Amino acid sequence: MVLLGINLSVAHYGIGLTSPKGKLIIEFTNDFARTESLIDDITDLLAKHDLSLKDITKIGVVQGPGSYTGSRIACTLANTLNQVNQTPILGLSSLEVLAHQSITTKGIFILTFPRSKYDINAALFSSDGRTIHRMTSDFTWPLDIMAKKCSQFKESIAIIGQGYDSIKDDLLKNKALSCHPNTLTLTAVLTALEKSTQLSHPPILPLYSEPQVS
């Protein structure tokens, strides 16, 4: 089985490959620095294992939320490969992949990625120590409102991800909160692809930021 993972939505951007001959990962400095040569990058990655595009058995693509441009390009590429080679594809939420990558204990967790200088993409998850559950759909959270709301939390809550650096000190004033900066890895994307028994019905579409909550 040859699996291809694509993430142009959130850091770390890149592509990853899992095959019987091993695993390869290429990371990019940003979401669109290599987009014009992305198909060549994938072809070169496959060639290192003596493979071609037709050998890919499943593609996992991070749909967002995250970079508007990166998410759109990644989904377009996955849909194109699906049409040309009938390769099955799986759309992945950046926040869900980060949750499964990062949550290892019981509790309630806020997963975040930056949306702009002033707000974040976020979602709440819970875990019983074995299974991770999504508590909310994705939403956009202005940082000033996030700081205000989090100051009212009484139960222990962990914040995982990026984008809240400017209010981190305010968040930590509440002893119920803990902050854990983390980024999405291509390894986590490939792991999600390996574990999934479901596929997406093409075409898959980018997951853009949801309306703000207050």
Residues 6+ apart with CB under 8 A from 61: 5, 6, 7, 74, 75, 77, 78, 89, 90, 91, 92, 204
Whether 202 is in a domain gets the answer: no
Which residue range(s) make up the domain with 169? 95-181
Q: Given this model, what pLDDT does residue 76 score? A: 94
Q: Kindly report the CATH number assigned to the domain that includes residue 175.
A: 3.30.420.40
Indicate the pLDDT class of residue 209, thresholds 50, 70 and 90.
Answer: confident
Whether 106 is in a domain gets the answer: yes
Indicate the pLDDT class of residue 207, thresholds 50, 70 and 90.
Answer: very high
Please compute the mean of the pLDDT values over residues 111-128 and round it to a whole number. 96
Q: Given this model, what pLDDT does residue 29 score? A: 75
Same-domain pairing of 120 and 173: yes
Q: Given this model, what pLDDT does residue 71 score? A: 92
Cβ–Cβ < 8 Å for 146, 164:
yes
Cβ–Cβ < 8 Å for 31, 14:
no
Same-domain pairing of 68 and 12: yes
Same-domain pairing of 10 and 67: yes
Whether 201 is in a domain gets the answer: no
Structural domain tally of the chain? Answer: 2
Q: Given this model, what pLDDT does residue 33 score? A: 59
pTM given for the model? 0.93
Q: Given this model, what pLDDT does residue 32 score? A: 61
Cβ–Cβ < 8 Å for 98, 112:
no
Q: What are residue 168's phi and psi, to 5 degrees?
A: -60, -45
Q: How many helices (H) and strands (E) does the chain have?
A: 6, 11
Same-domain pairing of 170 and 133: yes
| Strand order across the 89-93 sheet | 22-28, 13-19, 3-7, 58-64, 89-93
Whether 211 is in a domain gets the answer: no
